[in-house]
A and B are shown apart, each in its own frame.
Chain A
Amino acid sequence: MPLAVSIQNLHKTYGGTMEALKGVDLSIVEGDFFALLGPNGAGKTTIISILTGLVVKTSGDVRVFGASLDTDSSRAKSYIGVVPQEFNFNIFEKVLDIVVNQAGYYGVPRAEALKRAEVVLQELGLWEKRAEMAQKLSGGMKRRLMIARALVHRPRLLILDEPTAGVDVELRRSMWDFLRTLNAEGTTIILTTHYLEEAEQLCRNVAVIHKGEIVANEPMETLLRHHGDKRLEDIFIELVQGDALTPGLSKASPLNQ
């Protein structure tokens, strides 16, 4: 299976002293629904930000569908759509403009961008709000707008950084269905979330990062089985507490071989 993401020996040090990533190795196959889990400050967002070009890595090799971030960053970025943790659109812009402009940054002609924007906004139930300023949307609508914006250039890899934070149960379930459909249609998805039930429900493979290091990297089923069919939440707590880490667990991952 070709790799969607290949990360080797990735290091990031902030301000010369704060080592956020300590030699991360991670491989994500094309078509995967992959969970990247970890406590706050573990390094999840740093990995995502490096992948998307918002953070400059200190060292290591990062490839997206074979395109290197060092030598072919433009191609690497063109494959990615990202839904960040925090709302980061211009709240004074109209919903349609936000989506259409995003397509423009990826080189999609305006006429085509308008058609695509209509499709994604319809799919996410925001078409009726297209002429509204973003600041007038509810929290759930803002989340969906960020997904629409990330999808308008039809990325092969969708990265979702805590996409359902602060979203009510009903909307969360409908977002899950939407993401499952998207993944079934061939989009590789990386999900970070603090709702471990969400990762368990959606993801086939999982990596747990703790203090800048990958402490587990397994198919979800294997991870659950290795820990005696405990709940993912209990396994996660064991892993990030460190002393309960099963030696060699991450090395055992078929994704790292």
Chain B
Amino acid sequence: MDSSRILIAYYTIVRKDVVRMLRLWKQTFLPSVTTTTLYFLVFGTFIGSQLTAIHGFSYIQFIVPGLVMMSIITNAYSNTSTALFMAKFQRNLDEMLVSPTPEWVIVLGYVTAGIVRGLIIGILVLLTSLFFTHLLVHNILVLFSALILTCVLFSLAGFLNAMFAESFDSIAIVPTFILTPLTYLGGVFYSIEQFPHVWQSVSLLNPILYMVNAFRYGFLGISDVNIGMAFVVLISLTILLLGMILWLFKKGAGLKR
């Protein structure tokens, strides 16, 4: 397949999924905006107003980057896992598998759609946060890089989940029992400096901590972890997941028989 045909196939996969997510906006975008609005209201305004500043920033300013990141992680993940699982479940994934579209283009198409959803959600949640606080931007490059890399990483993770999912339960288990706890424990609502030393060390094993802190650094210029290390973690995990998916896809695991 030559490059122009690959580009058309890639565009078709992305377009199809973006049309789907826009058509289903009440399921894809509204819930995250509603939930984060409640977080801003309850934790940011009602409870946060009674808390002392963290690293010199009001509590709501501190949690905005984490809450945006939380929405991005959940949405990028669920977009690829749901879209791929549904295509597997209805067997219309076969439409792509029988075509000459290379496996890496199929992965790239789904991941791009995950990025699109993550970015749209990120923008919507940031716009919502403007009703509660004002935003600072410390380093746009770090902010944007952390945003894109997180979208890519969790879109890949969702893809991997859907490859092996046998039922709807299988795609709900990971977000509920792994992603959500890791996100809550990933420094969204607090700085790990407030923890005893042992728990600080344990927290450093949580990859989401690095993403939240890199993103927060982009906005506020503060971080619990070294920013360079945060990007090393993000890039390493992305390469690892991408390599795994392409290898498994080539072998037919989960998608072929």
Contacts and interface: CB of A to CB of B under 8 A. Distances in A.
Given A49-B257, A53-B98, A107 B1 contact: yes
B252 interface: yes
6 A-B pairs closest in CB distance: A107-B5, A104-B12, A105-B99, A88-B91, A74-B100, A56-B252
Contact of A90 (B6, B87, B257): B87
Interface string B78-106: 00000000110011101111111110000
A106 B257 contact: no
A231 interface: no
A105 B257 contact: no
Given A52-B98, A54-B98, A77-B99, A107 B4 contact: yes
A196 interface: no
Given A54-B94, A74-B1, A78-B1, 10 more contacts: A53-B256, A56-B257, A78-B99, A82-B98, A88-B91, A88-B95, A104-B9, A107-B1, A107-B5, A110-B8
A3 interface: no
Interface in B220-257: 251-252, 256-257
A80 interface: yes
Contact of A101 (B1, B12, B98, B102): B12
20 contacts: A52-B98, A54-B97, A54-B98, A55-B256, A55-B257, A56-B257, A75-B1, A80-B98, A86-B91, A88-B94, A90-B92, A101-B12, A102-B95, A104-B9, A105-B9, A105-B95, A106-B9, A107-B6, A107-B9, A110-B8
B254 to A, nearest CB: 12
A82 B97 CA distance: 11
A89 B257 contact: no
Interface residues of A, number: 32
A90 B5 contact: no
A107 B8 contact: yes
A80 B94 CA distance: 13
Contacts of B12: 101, 104-105, 110
B138 interface: no
Given A54-B98, A88-B91, A101 B16 contact: yes
A54 B100 contact: no
Nearest to A89: B92
B11 interface: yes
Contacts of B99: 77-78, 102, 105-106, 153
A91 B257 CA distance: 23
Interface in A57-95: 73-75, 77-78, 80, 82, 84, 86, 88-91
A84 B13 CA distance: 21
A243 to B, nearest CB: 32
B4 A89 contact: no
Contacts of A84: 91, 94
Contact of B100 (A56, A78, A110): A78
B250 to A, nearest CB: 9
Contacts of A101: 12, 16, 95
B257 A75 contact: no
Nearest to B251: A56
A75 B99 CA distance: 10
A107 B11 CA distance: 10
A106 B87 CA distance: 18
A156 interface: no
Nearest to A91: B90
A82 B95 CA distance: 9
A235 B96 CA distance: 38
A105 B4 contact: no
Contact of B95 (A55, A75, A78, A89): A89
A240 interface: no
